[in-house]
Structure formats: structure tokens, C-alpha cells
Structure 1
Amino acid sequence: MRVGTVLGLSLMLASVGATGVLGADDKGLAGNAPSAPSSFLSEFRFGLSAQDPWGTEGRDGSANLTGEILFAKPFTASDLFTSYFIPRPHVGGSLNVDGMTSFAYAGLSWTVDLTPSLFVEGSLGGAVHNGKGRSPNPLDQHQQLGCSPLFRESGSVGVRLSANWSLMATVEHLSNAGSCSENRGLTNIGARVGYSF
């Protein structure tokens, strides 16, 4: 799946959700039994990131446009502690504006509230990219990622600005975990704005 397609789909779904067609949040019903979520979408995020600032691709200050859709939890529980262990599926993409590595990804995200306005989040999944596997050219600035798909992990710290809007700082890492001959990895850092439905 092309990164541009993922970002376009993200924008389309976000606009549909914002008009209320798919609206409402994913809070469960009262009681101890898990309940089905009340909507399909949970949150849409967009932002900017610095491309691998300590690596080959970022040595000249390369940047990305990012977008992500988080879907509702498959079920929810009234117990707050238990609900933290139920992840939200996500899909997203990162489009490099300087012709370096772009990628599309999917996985699961776990969000934990530290206070009513402050939260942390961790994500695990996989990504496909358009970067280089192995280059014979020593002047090539593309990171030698080895293969595709890659594993992707990310961590975020965020603050809720209102009932619907949030702001978060995110670091993400892509790597093949040693499954290919090259395993340089790619680490991006950035900021995102989130809109919860």
C-alpha cells in the first residue's frame, strides 16, 4: 500500500468522522462485562517529524508529514485498569518531503492516563517502506534498512487540550530486528495533534 494512499484515506475518514457520520467515543456500557464499542473510529492524528536526526537520512535536516487513524477498541470494560490492557488498532503513514524513506504502518496502541489531562502511549506493529535495502554507492544518503516489512515501535507523551483535541510528542523506531543482512534502523522524533471522535 502506498504511503500517499494511506494519508489520503486518513484525511477522508477523518472528515467523515468530524461531520458526525461516524462520531461518538468508544466508552463502554456500565457494568462489569465487556461491551462492544459505540463507533468504528476512535481518533485521527496528524503532525510533523524529524527524519532520523542522528542517522544518515537526517544529517541534512530531513522532515516528514505524518498521519494516523486509531480505531475503536474491539471491546471495552468498565474497570479502568483492565481497559488499559485493551489496545486500539491503528494504521498510518509517514511521507518524507525530501525524497528519503517514506513508510506506511499498522499495529496496536496502548494508552494510559497519568492524570485527567496527561497520558502516555506505546505502540507495536509493522511497516512497509520505499527505502533502500543495500546500496553500493557510499554517497547514498538513504539508510540501509535491509528489507521490507520492518518492525515498528513508538512511544508518546501527550496532553489533552479539550474533550476532543490532544497534543503529543512521539518517538518511533523501525528495524528488521536482525532478520536481514542490513539492520541500521530508522528513528524519527516529532509532534502530533490528535482529534478524538
Structure 2
Amino acid sequence: MEGRDGSANLTGEILFAKPFTASDLFTSYFIPRPHIGGSLNFDDRTSFAYAGLSWTVDVTPNIFVEGSFGGAIHNGKDSSHPFSDRQAVGCSPLFRESGSVGVRLSANWSLMATIEHLSDGGTCSDENRGLTNIGARVGYTF
């Protein structure tokens, strides 16, 4: 993924299976899958680790949309790092939400266009410009 400032991040995520299944397809869309991940910035800018829940909805057998919500911790600028040249993203932890549109290339591989946003949602007094990343992800299903 790439931040607004043009720096590059390498992000890894593990998306777990649904903890239980529903008998019908419609109800199964409301059952979230837990995820954990992290994003490392290559220009010594803001990096973060996150966890939360994801929902995936099939549009066609090969195209899907995915949304997620959770929390993140970061090493960006806040009251504990006031002189950092990193993005001012507010206190830690942050809220993290993301959305993706993806295509299944095979039974195991997928390609997604993703946008994610991290913010403290105004819950602390630190400056909060938030952090938004746009990028592409490659997925592999085991």
C-alpha cells in the first residue's frame, strides 16, 4: 500500500475462517472473520499493527467486496512522539476501517484494490489528521 506522501508500505494480513457457519447464504454474509495484520513503512514514516473483523460479500462467483473494522496501534506522531516527522495520527490505539474490491484469479489466488483509514475518531486531544492508504493486495487462500 502507499501513503498520501508517496512513501511505500509493505502490509501483511492473516484473515481467519469464520468462527461458525450459517445455513443460508444471506445470513452467512453477516458472520465476520477475524483478522490481524501489520504495515511497515519503508521511509521511516508511520507503521502500524492492527486487528479486527472483516465481512466479505460475493458479487459474482469471481468478484467480491470486503469491508473491515477494528483497531490499530502505531508509531506515528502523538503526544509521546511530539517532535517526530511522522504523520500526526492522534493517540494510540486508533480505529481502523478498510474496504476492498477483489477478483478471484483461481481457487487460491485473488487480487484486490483496497483503501484503509486509521483515525482516533476525535477521542483524544492530540492532533488527528488520520492516515489513509490506497493500494493493491494479493491474497492466497490455504
TM-score, with length taken from structure 2: 0.94
Task: Decide whether the 8 Å contact of 2:77 with 2:85 is kept in 1.
Answer: no
Task: Tell me the alpha carbon deviations over residues 159-183 of structure 1, each in whole angstroms, 9 at most, x when there is no partner.
Answer: 0000111000100000000011222
Pairing 1:84–2:29 present: yes
Residue of structure 1 in register with 2:63 after alignment: 118
- The runs of 5 or more residues in structure 2 that have no matched partner are none
1: CA distance, partners of 2:43 / 2:85: 11
Per-residue Cα deviation, 1:4-46 (whole angstroms, up to 9, x for no partner):
xxxxxxxxxxxxxxxxxxxxxxxxxxxxxxxxxxxxxxxxxxx
Q: Which has the higher strand share?
A: 2
Quote the residue 2:139 is aligned against. Answer: 194
Counterpart check, 1:143 vs 2:87: yes
Q: Structure 1, unaligned stretches of length 5 or more?
A: 1-48
Q: Is 1:170 matched up with 2:114?
A: yes
CA positional deviation for 1:77: 1.5
1:86–1:162 distance in 2 versus 1, CA, 3 Å:
same
Pick the structure with more helix per residue.
Answer: 1
Aligned-pair Cα RMSD in Å: 1.3
Is residue 95 of structure 1 aligned with residue 40 of structure 2? Answer: yes
Q: Please, what TM-score do these two structures have when normalized by structure 1?
A: 0.68
Once the two structures are superposed, residues 48-86 of structure 1 have per-residue CA deviations (whole angstroms, 9 ceiling, x without a partner) of x111x1xxxx1xx20100100011111011311110000
Aligned length: 140
Q: Which amino acid aligns with 2:68?
A: S
Percent identity reads 80
Q: Could you say if the C-alpha distance between residues 136 and 149 of structure 1 is closer, same or farther in structure 2, counting changes exceeding 3 Å?
A: closer
**Rg: which structure is higher?**
1
- The answer to whether structure 1 residue 50 and structure 2 residue 8 are counterparts is no
Q: SS of the counterpart of 2:26?
A: helix
Cα 1:91/1:136, change in 2 over 3 Å: closer
* Structure 1 runs (4+) greater than 6 angstroms displaced: none
CA distance in 1, matches of 2:115, 2:28: 24
Listed one character per residue, the Cα deviations across residues 98-117 of structure 1 (whole Å, up to 9, x for unaligned) are 00000000000000000000
Q: For 1:82, what is the secondary structure of its paired residue?
A: helix
How far apart in 1 are the matches of 2:16 and 2:109? 16
